[in-house]
């Protein structure tokens, strides 16, 4: 026999509970701008500290990034070329080292406007995005870069002596590593779209023909080299990540 207690609905089981913004506070436009300015200032300060710290230890970083080139000799073709390469390497590395703090500032800025449902997704998305980004860096360093360099060295081995500009080499390596890290964010985008109900896993799977074409185009655009091996490796990784993302969306029941 139903009682009055059966008609009582706790806030946690209410249909609108997950779509509410906890501790919702009214903020004026100037308050938002002041908060944004503070977060930007802290992020830029952290990035500057990271760049300076990495510049102090830039030579070991440069030597580590030269490992995939093997026995190739590097030349400084203009005065100060190695200095500007060091600044570039320190810049990328410093931002990468301080990225957790910068990401924390971004989260703290957007968190007050998120519902409970969106906050539940925030943790896994941030963690998964970070893991996939570093996995992309590792994939580029240990697979893409050695494959591309091996292709270039073997192609001209009987014709030209391998003496490379250090600036062009690091431009190639850094661009390939960071573009690959960004390409590895595909499953995260799929999970977010699926969680929000914008695209279902069935719809993602139906477009597999366009995905294959897009992966080949993405491999050609993101790789700074023109060799087919590097482009094919990146395209294959993108396809694997895409279909893996479909699996994650299905696990969410979307």
pLDDT-wise least confident of 76-80, 139-143, 219-223: 219-223
What is the overall mean pLDDT for the chain?
Answer: 80
pLDDT of residue 154: 77
On the question of pLDDT at 49 being above 70, the answer is: yes
On the question of pLDDT at 9 being above 90, the answer is: no
On the question of pLDDT at 185 being above 50, the answer is: yes
Mean pLDDT of 132-147: 88
Compute the distance between CA of residue 246 and CA of residue 237 in angstroms, rounded to an integer: 14
pLDDT, tens only, 215-246: 887 777 766 656 677 777 778 888 888 888 88
Token digits of residue 191: 């999970």
Closest C-alpha to 146, from 245, 244, 210, 227 = 227
Residues 6+ apart with CB under 8 A from 30: none
On the question of pLDDT at 5 being above 50, the answer is: no
SS3 state of residue 74: strand
pLDDT, greater one: 14 or 67: 67
Query: pLDDT confidence of 129, banded at 50, 70, 90?
Result: confident
Mean pLDDT of 55-82: 87
User: What does pTM read for this prediction?
Assistant: 0.77
């Amino acid at each position: 026999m139903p009682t009055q207690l059966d008609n009582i609905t706790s806030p946690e089981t209410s249909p609108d509970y997950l779509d509410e913004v906890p501790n919702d506070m009214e903020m004026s436009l100037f308050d938002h701008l002041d908060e944004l300015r503070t977060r930007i200032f802290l992020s830029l300060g952290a990035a500057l500290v990271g760049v300076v710290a990495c510049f102090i230890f830039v030579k070991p970083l440069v030597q580590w990034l030269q490992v995939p080139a093997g026995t190739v000799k590097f030349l400084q073709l203009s005065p100060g070329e190695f200095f500007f390469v060091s600044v570039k390497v320190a810049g990328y590395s410093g931002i990468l080292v301080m990225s957790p703090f910068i990401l924390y500032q971004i989260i703290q800025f957007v968190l007050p406007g998120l519902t409970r449902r969106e906050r539940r997704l925030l943790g896994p998305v941030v963690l998964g995005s970070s893991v996939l980004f570093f996995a992309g860096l590792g994939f580029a360093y240990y697979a893409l870069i050695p494959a591309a360099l091996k292709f270039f060295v073997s192609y001209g081995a009987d014709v030209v002596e391998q003496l490379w500009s250090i600036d062009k080499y690091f431009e190639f390596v850094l661009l390939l590593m960071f573009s690959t890290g960004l390409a590895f964010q595909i499953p995260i985008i799929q999970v977010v779209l699926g969680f929000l109900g914008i695209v279902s896993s069935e719809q993602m799977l139906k477009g597999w023909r366009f995905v294959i074409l897009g992966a080949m185009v993405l491999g050609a655009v993101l790789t700074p080299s023109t060799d087919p091996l590097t482009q094919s490796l990146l395209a294959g990784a993108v396809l694997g990540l895409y279909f893996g993302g479909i699996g994650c969306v299905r696990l969410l029941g979307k």
